[in-house]
């Protein structure tokens, strides 16, 4: 059986040779920043599962409860920083214009890493497609206006919940909830890139939330390679030519840092 370092070296070579790369991340990449995953031990809040709170029905039923949960999650994430895995990916994506980071995470840590690494430069090449939204974006339930907000949430009564700055309608998190559709522009950007990519790197996702979980399959079906970084096996393991059974912080920097990139074209 190959050791983790053999697998890391194989992954490093695949990345170095790839002309286009798509990186799909999930909650696991932020676990070492202190953001709890859903399916880990800390996934429960009070007695609720995420599926009971992250839905349009739950919000209609009890907006204060849903906002209380989001307020708690925003506070947790606001205290977290991008880790070495977010930073290594951001540095790589900035230095290599053919990398697209697609995330299911709503914590904004990839974007924070992109801005931190870019400094005075434009961070655009390292900004992720945030398939499921962002904890710090709100949307008006009346006029659909979307805005950024990171102020504390007071969910003690309906009167104190966040409201729209333009029409004073009730605000909700600008997050894709269970049963809702993803932004079609985001989906087509992610899937087009998955088809063109020589390598899809899947980091810290349980691979059960669709359509994100299909991104790796699209790369594999188009002849590309899949690299998985996850301490546990997932349904995506079967698609992967390289499986790295470790946390993201140990695996991502050695794979992405110090690699040189070949000229355009599928695998060389
Ligand atoms: P998930 O919670 O279902 O799975 C997390 C995966 O990460 C697991 O497979 C686990 O083995 C792996 N993991 C745990 N620690 C890791 C580490 N240190 N390094 C690498 N991998 C590690 O997460 P998901 O697949 O992203 O799906 C959950 C859904 O919940 C998504 O829709 C997402 O929007 C949302 N969510 C987001 C956050 C966040 O923004 N950080 C956190 C929790 C849930
Ligand atoms: Zn409004």
Averaged pLDDT for residues 236-243: 97
Half-sphere exposure for 252 (CA within 13 Å, toward CB) = 28
Q: Which of 4, 27, 178 to mutate to test ligand 1, by most ligand atoms within 8 A of the CB atom?
A: 27
CATH number, domain of 110, equals 3.40.50.1220
Establish whether 132 is a catalytic residue: yes
What is the number of domains present in the chain? 2
> CB 52: neighbour CB atoms within 10 A?
17
pLDDT of residue 112 exceeding 50: yes
Q: Indicate the range of 3-17, 32-46, 118-132, 145-159 predicted with least confidence.
A: 32-46
Q: Are residue 140 and residue 248 in the same domain, yes or no?
A: no
pLDDT of residue 177: 96
pLDDT of residue 42: 64
Q: Are residue 140 and residue 168 in the same domain, yes or no?
A: yes
pLDDT of residue 36 exceeding 50: yes
Helix (H, G, I), strand (E, B) or coil at 38: coil
Averaged pLDDT for residues 27-53: 85
Q: How far is the CA of 166 from the centre of ligand 2 (A)?
A: 5
Q: Are residue 229 and residue 141 in the same domain, yes or no?
A: no
Q: Are residue 252 and residue 194 in the same domain, yes or no?
A: yes
DSSP per-residue letters across 51-62: HHHSSHHHHHH-
Q: Are residue 163 and residue 89 in the same domain, yes or no?
A: no
pLDDT in tens, 70-79: 999 999 999 9
Give, using CA atoms, the residue closest to atom 15 of ligand 1: 28
Averaged pLDDT for residues 66-86: 96
Beta strands in 176-241 (DSSP E): 199-203, 225-229
Averaged pLDDT for residues 197-205: 98
pLDDT of residue 268 exceeding 60: no
Q: How far is the CA of 224 from the centre of ligand 1 (A)?
A: 24
Tell me which of 132, 145, 174, 186 is the catalytic residue: 132
- Give the structural domain span for 73: 41-79+135-175
Q: Are residue 252 and residue 188 in the same domain, yes or no?
A: yes
Q: Tell me whether residue 101 is in a domain.
A: yes
């Amino acid at each position: 059986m190959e050791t983790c370092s053999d697998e890391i070296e194989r992954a490093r070579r695949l990345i170095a040779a790839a002309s286009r790369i798509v990186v799909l991340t999930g909650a696991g990449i932020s676990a070492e920043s202190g953001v709890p995953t859903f399916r880990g031990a800390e996934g429960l809040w009070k007695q609720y599962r995420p599926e009971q709170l992250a839905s349009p029905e739950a919000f209609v039923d009890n907006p204060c409860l849903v906002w209380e949960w989001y307020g708690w999650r925003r506070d947790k994430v606001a205290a977290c920083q991008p880790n070495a895995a977010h930073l290594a990916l951001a540095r790589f994506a900035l230095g290599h214009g053919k990398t697209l980071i697609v995330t299911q995470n709503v914590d904004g840590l990839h974007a924070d890493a992109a801005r931190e690494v870019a400094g005075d430069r434009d961070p655009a090449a390292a900004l992720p497609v945030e398939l499921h939204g962002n904890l710090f974006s709100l949307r008006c339930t009346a006029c659909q206006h979307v805005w950024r907000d990171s102020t504390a949430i007071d969910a003690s009564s309906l009167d104190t919940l966040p409201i729209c700055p333009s029409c004073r309608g009730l605000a909700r998190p600008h997050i894709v909830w269970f049963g809702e559709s993803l932004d079609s522009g985001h989906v087509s950007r992610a899937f087009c890139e998955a088809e063109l990519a020589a390598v899809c790197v899947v980091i810290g996702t349980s691979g059960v939330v669709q359509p994100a979980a299909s991104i790796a399959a699209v790369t594999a079906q188009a002849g590309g390679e899949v690299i998985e970084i996850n301490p546990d096996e997932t349904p995506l393991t079967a698609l992967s030519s390289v499986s790295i059974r470790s946390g993201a912080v140990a695996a991502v920097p050695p794979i992405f840092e110090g690699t040189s990139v070949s000229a355009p074209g599928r695998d060389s």
